[in-house]
Chains A and B, each alone.
Chain A
């Protein structure tokens, strides 16, 4: 655990040294800040817009950060050849991958906390104290970002950066459209295609599970049971991605 923690804290420090985090943070805060321009709308509509824009910003910029941090974590170490020093020490490849994942999770958490604080501050300034549903939605977005990061980390262990970016964004889009995909499967009559479709539906990360914000912004309550099940789904998917990452990194010639 100690070795993993060393890798994790180094990954975190390395990310803080890079400008990516700060640029994304500033752009995200500006994006959320612009939602204040909707003050010409009725108070209720303005609040809805602030929430919609903020949730979308936290998710979108968080996803970019997760993908780039995960990608840089592996390929950066290989390019700078620092990985040779690391692996020469008594650090196993398994420790390296898990440590990298923990480190990038801290970066994603820091980013999510800072943007969320700004968002909550904005709501309070509008005299709308955020309720528990807002926090549930933020929690699910964070788990989703961890999942995106874990998948990107797994891909980084065997593919190039360009492929990783394309695949991660492709999964981000398809994962958010899973409802549509499911509807297509349900209407398919061919039993083989139906079976293959359901298999694919379960393999592709279902990011739509984490999307409760469309309901939360209009005042719909979401049960803790749903939130709990979705967190469990996210955690299991993260474990799968990390295990796949370990498998391919063990096989990789460095």
Chain B
């Protein structure tokens, strides 16, 4: 009986070998499918992780509630580390990147009169969105947000085209495709704009595309040169 009992322990120890191999496979798949939690070796973060254990999602939610509160109280700058923290806890949570980038490039940008500072926050917003793209490269959302920021806030149409072209490679709403056509026009790429508007004809933006194509044929595209000639800014 005593000898037989050793068999139980022996099998248990022996089973650790396939468990070890399986763990290697699981680690590989976690990396492959981007399931790994991102923990950096900073003292505060390690302590935080210890307390949070497996409940990072709930921690991210509590921080998000703080963001909401600070937002309504008008604490523009206090929000920044909160965005970073939520993004660190749940880097696949697209909203935090999108809202964080927009907050820097639009809200903080508008809160200052200093042109240098404006430029700084516009760049910070774009950089935050790019960081978000690095974590979420397989979805249109952040490419669109960055493309829109370049298009609308920076009037940097070359970069807007670059990121909107990436956005439309993934399943996305029709307005993204339509914005790309606008960006082509503003970037002086009229042929590409016509091609893109033709593609937009098959979407919910059909009437907009028809009108745009008609204007391009009859009056010319809204290139920067034509806009200047017509005395039109971006808000037109």
Contacts and interface: CB of A to CB of B under 8 A. Distances in A.
B29 interface: yes
Contacts of A41: 64, 68
B226 interface: no
Which secondary structure dominates chain B's binding surface?
helix
Interface size range of chain B in the complex? 35 or more
B138 to A, nearest CB: 9
Which secondary structure dominates chain A's binding surface?
helix
B37 interface: yes
Contact of A207 (B5, B8, B41, B54): B54
B203 interface: no
Interface stretch (B15-23, B172-180, B183-191): B15-23
Contacts of B36: 179
Interface size range of chain A in the complex? 35 or more
Contact of B37 (A60, A179, A202, A244): A179
Contact of A218 (B6, B12, B90): B90
Interface in B4-62: 5-6, 8-9, 11-12, 15-16, 18-20, 22-23, 25-27, 29-30, 33-37, 39, 41, 46, 49-50, 53-58, 60-61
B61 A53 contact: yes
A56 B26 contact: no
B5 A250 contact: yes
Given A172-B53, A247-B9, A236 B19 contact: yes
A59 B54 contact: yes
B92 interface: yes
B12 A236 contact: no
Nearest to A214: B57
Contact of B55 (A44, A56, A206, A215): A56
Interface stretch (A19-27, A104-112, A122-130, A220-228): A220-228
Interface of B: 1, 5-6, 8-9, 11-12, 15-16, 18-20, 22-23, 25-27, 29-30, 33-37, 39, 41, 46, 49-50, 53-58, 60-61, 64-65, 68, 90, 92-95
Shortest Cβ-Cβ A-B pairs, 4 listed = A52-B57, A176-B54, A243-B12, A202-B20
